[in-house]
Amino acid sequence: MELFSLKGKVALVTGGNGGIGLAYARGLVKAGAKVAIWGRNTTKNEVAIKELTEMGGDVAAFVCDVTDSEKVDTAFAETMAHFGQVDICFANAGGGGPRGMLHQIEDAAWQGVLDLNLNSVVYTYRKVITQLLERKAAGKLIVTSSVAGLIGTGFAAGYSTTKSAVIGLTRALAVELGRNNIQVNAILPGYVETEMSLNTSDAFKAAVVRRSVSGKIGTLADMEGIAVYLASSASNFMTGQSVILDGGHMVHPM
Ligand code: NDP
């Protein structure tokens, strides 16, 4: 089999209609996977499907709010009805959560970021895991964490907390599922310009560039290759790992 080929595989990408998730989907389509994308916004879903189809992909979009476990169950059933299997899952949908000092964050906002960046991953993964175990199929589970899961992001404690939590979840599931030939890994991007990061100040961006050993900010194209690697059999001996993809930001001494 061709190294990195995803022919015959079906991948699910939550938050696949834009930003980093759409970049993963582009990589997966290029490697030959069939791809299901989930997002809340039907227009964004349609635009993404048009692009991926024009690339030659066998793709479909499903409307889903991943913070609601019942909606996840429904979208997963729709995805299975369409493709018949899900071999690869990118739990990628997420967002920044509330900003401000922790002691001023209201319960609803705190619960909101837990639901969006942590509980959503659990809701999605458990559907995929059940189906993989029933089929006795090999699988790949990949979550989009962040370098914010390793460093302190002041005034965004919910973001750091949830992005760390999914690293713990990744390690636990790697142990739980290793004998079932299901590998579980996390991608930790540094700063990438997407809708989520639009509000970032110029000063923050300048600081990112200064600390990046490559002198560059991450692009969506930079996200494609890691998605293909972690989804393919090339990564079969790699599990429980957190892959930092940040242009060298985290290794910079200053
Ligand atoms: P975008 O805002 O560009 O994309 C977010 C995606 O998630 C969209 O497809 C959106 O679709 C979907 N989404 C958001 N909320 C929900 C929900 N409740 N249910 C279903 N889908 C949802 O953000 P990014 O691409 O930047 O972020 C993707 C992931 O990457 C996130 O987990 C983020 O934390 C992480 N990340 C981002 C970094 C960056 O610098 N941009 C750095 C490190 C990590 P829709 O609106 O249609 O629901």
List the domain boundaries for the chain.
10-192+223-246
Residue 109 confidence class, pLDDT cut points 50, 70, 90: very high
Residue 159 designated active-site? yes
Q: Is the pLDDT reported for residue 1 higher than 70?
A: no
List, for residues 44-80, the tens digit of each pLDDT value: 999 999 999 999 999 999 999 999 999 999 999 999 9
Edge to edge, the sheet with strand 34-39 lists 59-63, 34-39, 10-14, 88-91, 139-144, 182-189, 242-245
24-29 mean pLDDT: 98
How many C-beta neighbours within 10 Å does residue 41 have? 13
- Residue of 186, 190, 171 whose CA lies nearest to 251: 190
Q: How many A from CA of 2 to the centre of ligand 1? A: 31
For 123, phi then psi, to 5°, come to: -55, -45
Mean pLDDT over each residue of the chain, to the nearest integer: 96
Q: In terms of pTM, does the model score above 0.95?
A: yes
Q: Is the pLDDT reported for residue 254 higher than 80?
A: no
Atom of ligand 1 nearest to the CA of 64: 20
Residue 146 designated active-site? yes
pLDDT at site 212: 85
Q: How many A from CA of 207 to the centre of ligand 1? A: 23
Q: Give CA separation, 181 vs 49, 108, 141, 231, 236, in Å.
A: 30, 38, 11, 13, 8
How many C-beta neighbours within 10 Å does residue 108 have? 8
Q: Check if 189 has its Cβ closer than 6 Å to any atom of ligand 1.
A: yes
7-32 mean pLDDT: 98
Structure tokens at 42: 């039907």
pLDDT at site 196: 82
List, for residues 175-228, the tens digit of each pLDDT value: 999 999 999 999 999 999 898 887 788 888 888 888 889 888 899 999 999 999
Q: Check if 159 has its Cβ closer than 6 Å to any atom of ligand 1.
A: no
The highest-level CATH class for domain 10-192+223-246 is alpha beta
Q: Check if 94 has its Cβ closer than 6 Å to any atom of ligand 1.
A: yes
4-14 mean pLDDT: 98
pLDDT at site 128: 99
- Percentage, residues of the chain above pLDDT 70: 100
Q: How many A from CA of 17 to the centre of ligand 1? A: 9
Q: How many A from CA of 19 to the centre of ligand 1? A: 7
Q: Check if 17 has its Cβ closer than 6 Å to any atom of ligand 1.
A: yes
Atom of ligand 1 nearest to the CA of 145: 44
Atom of ligand 1 nearest to the CA of 94: 32
Q: Check if 40 has its Cβ closer than 6 Å to any atom of ligand 1.
A: yes
Residue 71 designated active-site? no
233-240 mean pLDDT: 98
Residue with tokens 């002691």: 103
Distance CA 244, CA 108 (A): 31
